[in-house]
Structure 1
Amino acid sequence: MNSKRWQRIAFAACLCAIPWIGTATALVMGVFFSLLIGNPWPRKTARFSKIILQLSVVGLGFGLGLDEVIRTGRDSVVYTVVGIGSTLMLGHFLGRVFKTDRNTSLLITFGTAICGGSAIAAMAPVLNAQDDETAVALATVFTLNSVALLLFPVIGHLLRLDQAVFGTWAGLAIHDTSSVVGATSLYGARALAIGTTVKLTRAIWITPVVMGTAVLRKTGQKAGIPLFIIGFVLAATARTCLPQYGRYWGELSALAKECLVVTLFLVGAGLNRDVLGRVGVRPLLQGITLWLMVSGLTLVALTFVGIH
């Protein structure tokens, strides 16, 4: 039996184990599988992980009331705007300090400020970024995302953060939706609900930032609100307007959480040697420094200044 077939069998065996493991275990298992055995379907898993993640986010909406979504989104608007603006300015400054390639620096900054890979993908055409510049930015953000999913819950427990503060912190300071949902699901149901809503509120800013940059650069690039965010709001609306079907909404929400575990395994399986090889020293230093500063300042604001 050739090595490729063994890889596929092992990959299928890991997927069969998904119902009995948690989100963090799934991510770690995916990373180790990819680095030690090798992902037999890297392109397919990358595509399916995005699809399953978006469906999972929509499904999580069935577990929340519309009033909770609106309240959390409204309460997070001010520090979302302040956080995004501050991150963009700080990222621009750090790009010059570390002398990172201009487009790569901007893409890492946008990814950190707004929504990780989604923001990078939306912004790349506006900047006329080359494939290698986009790849380096994605690899940098992807690597930090994997670290955040595992590190944030540990820090939260060490500092004894309540679920509301932790969910808000994760939603504001972690790059991608997958890692926000993964980290908050490890922390608790309330943290998951708040973190997901705050993160999606933050992701909406992809549209105005991309359009504003396009106007400044005169590229004519357009961007719309991601459909899975609309689906999340519609799911919460359905739960609120049709409470008699609460049992089914709960089952859909539970299914979404199981799908999230699959997503994180696929995300981990995408962190291969090629991805790590694309991350240069300067972009990585910029990405780490920016992320640590944003995470630290956000946590200080939430816990000591009293922004809740």
Structure 2
Amino acid sequence: MKNIIFYVFLAAALLATVMGWGDACILLIAGIFVALTVGNPVSSLTANGAKYLLQASVVLMGFKYDIHSMLAVGSQGVFLSIFSIALVLTCGTLFSRWLKVRYEVGALVSCGTSICGGSAIAAIGGVMKSDNKDMAVSLGTIFLLNAVALLIFPVMGHSLHMSEQIFGYWSGIAIQDTSSVAGAAQSYGGATLAYAIPVKLARALWIIPLAMCVGWFHRRRSESLGAEAGSFSIPWFIFLFIIASAVKTWIPSGEHLYAHGADLGVKALVFTLYLIGLGMSYHALKSVGWRALVLGVLLWIVLGISSLIWLTVSPPA
């Protein structure tokens, strides 16, 4: 009976998304509710589906933006990205020692918070050859914070009377996962997505140099401990997003088709959030130790406050 209810909710979420009735925040909450009450009989399938659907939706949304504007937005946030990444990684090292968080978990949570959540954890985890438990704790911590961010960031933005531009930059910097950034930006409305997505994806490119640095450090550490180092995957979908934006800019004859593609990308993103919500479980909640969760919250506060101060003192042009 529970399986039938699960598939009914799944079909209803898909229908709501296709018809344009779905709200990012509501569908995320609905996914979590279904996962915790009804259960998810196809958790591995929905997890993989969320991963690839997110990448496809981001690529399709590239057809929504002019590449010149997109690169301008991304380049304006580069110094804030460098500052915030360095700050979070430094604080992550200090807080991990203070809280006595294990080295692997501390590194994964710090990297996930500093760049782009689950994608960074997956990349850095591959470099460090992290075991499943460390990955689960780190991903669970970031998942909880992203779910909270998707709900409270728009509220905070409105209460602080942020412009769409400032909120787009802030959410692109301070929220970890691309899906939650896009969901919060969509909820905020207007042109917020046009600022949030380029900033987030430009920030996500730092996975590559960070993974290389972590890989070098971890290789030396592994050699001293007699362990084996790993490898990482390049987030190719970011480059495909840039290509889609370039196609829209330089081949304007397909504007009608591009508009449909971008709309499909936004809808796919909303449904992705429902699938991400289905990834929650009581086991995942239990696996998140209080030390890792406190570390994630502290780093999130540091990132949110420091980036907001930066944007207040030196707003983007």
TM-score by length of 2: 0.93
Alpha-carbon separation, structure 1, partners of 2:176 and 2:125: 17
* Alignment match, 2:168: 167
Matched, 1:247 2:256: yes
Alpha-carbon separation, structure 2, partners of 1:126 and 1:102: 14
Deviations 1:187-207 (A, max 9, x none): 124210111101111111111
| Residue pair 2:123, 2:232 contacting (<8 A) in 1 also | yes
Matched, 1:268 2:277: yes
How much has 1:22 moved relative to structure 2? 1.2
Unaligned 5+ runs, structure 2: 220-227
How much has 1:215 moved relative to structure 2? 1.6
Matched, 1:287 2:265: no
The secondary structure found in structure 2 opposite 1:270 is coil
How much has 1:224 moved relative to structure 2? 5.2
Alpha-carbon separation, structure 2, partners of 1:41 and 1:235: 32
Which amino acid is 1:264 matched to? L
* Alignment match, 2:87: 86
Q: How many residues are treated as equivalent by the alignment?
A: 306
Alpha-carbon separation, structure 2, partners of 1:217 and 1:6: 46
Which amino acid is 1:68 matched to? S
Alpha-carbon separation, structure 1, partners of 2:164 and 2:9: 36
How much has 1:252 moved relative to structure 2? 0.8
| Residue pair 1:211, 1:222 contacting (<8 A) in 2 also | no
**After the TM superposition, which of the residue ranges 9-18 and 88-97 deviates more from structure 2?**
9-18
The secondary structure found in structure 2 opposite 1:32 is helix
| Residue pair 1:211, 1:221 contacting (<8 A) in 2 also | no
The secondary structure found in structure 2 opposite 1:17 is helix
Matched, 1:113 2:114: yes
* Alignment match, 1:207: 208
* Alignment match, 2:314: 306
Alpha-carbon separation, structure 1, partners of 2:262 and 2:41: 30
How much has 1:72 moved relative to structure 2? 1.0
The secondary structure found in structure 2 opposite 1:233 is helix
Deviations 1:217-246 (A, max 9, x none): 326644454111011000000000111221
How much has 1:5 moved relative to structure 2? 3.2
* Alignment match, 1:11: 10
1:38-117 alignment to 2 at 5 Å?
38-117=39-118
Alpha-carbon separation, structure 1, partners of 2:31 and 2:77: 32
Which amino acid is 1:130 matched to? D
How much has 1:82 moved relative to structure 2? 1.0
The secondary structure found in structure 1 opposite 2:161 is coil
How much has 1:155 moved relative to structure 2? 0.4
CA RMSD of aligned residues (A): 1.5
Deviations 1:261-298 (A, max 9, x none): 11011111111212111111111111111101211111
The secondary structure found in structure 1 opposite 2:64 is coil
| Residue pair 2:2, 2:38 contacting (<8 A) in 1 also | no
The secondary structure found in structure 1 opposite 2:191 is helix
Matched, 1:296 2:305: yes
| Residue pair 2:169, 2:199 contacting (<8 A) in 1 also | yes
TM-score by length of 1: 0.95
How much has 1:151 moved relative to structure 2? 0.8
| Residue pair 2:60, 2:262 contacting (<8 A) in 1 also | yes
CA gap of 1:62–1:93, structure 2 versus 1, over 3 A, is same
**After the TM superposition, which of the residue ranges 144-153 and 293-302 deviates more from structure 2?**
293-302
Which amino acid is 2:75 matched to? R
How much has 1:7 moved relative to structure 2? 2.8
| Residue pair 2:129, 2:230 contacting (<8 A) in 1 also | no
Alpha-carbon separation, structure 1, partners of 2:266 and 2:283: 30
| Residue pair 1:165, 1:302 contacting (<8 A) in 2 also | yes
Unaligned 5+ runs, structure 1: none
Alpha-carbon separation, structure 2, partners of 1:251 and 1:99: 50
**After the TM superposition, which of the residue ranges 291-300 and 15-24 deviates more from structure 2?**
15-24
Identity between Structure 1 and Structure 2 (%): 37
| Residue pair 1:66, 1:236 contacting (<8 A) in 2 also | yes
The secondary structure found in structure 2 opposite 1:40 is coil
**After the TM superposition, which of the residue ranges 183-192 and 102-111 deviates more from structure 2?**
183-192
The secondary structure found in structure 2 opposite 1:100 is coil
**After the TM superposition, which of the residue ranges 131-140 and 118-127 deviates more from structure 2?**
118-127
Deviations 1:19-60 (A, max 9, x none): 322111111111111112112211111100111111110111
CA gap of 1:14–1:71, structure 2 versus 1, over 3 A, is closer
| Residue pair 1:35, 1:272 contacting (<8 A) in 2 also | yes
| Residue pair 1:206, 1:223 contacting (<8 A) in 2 also | no
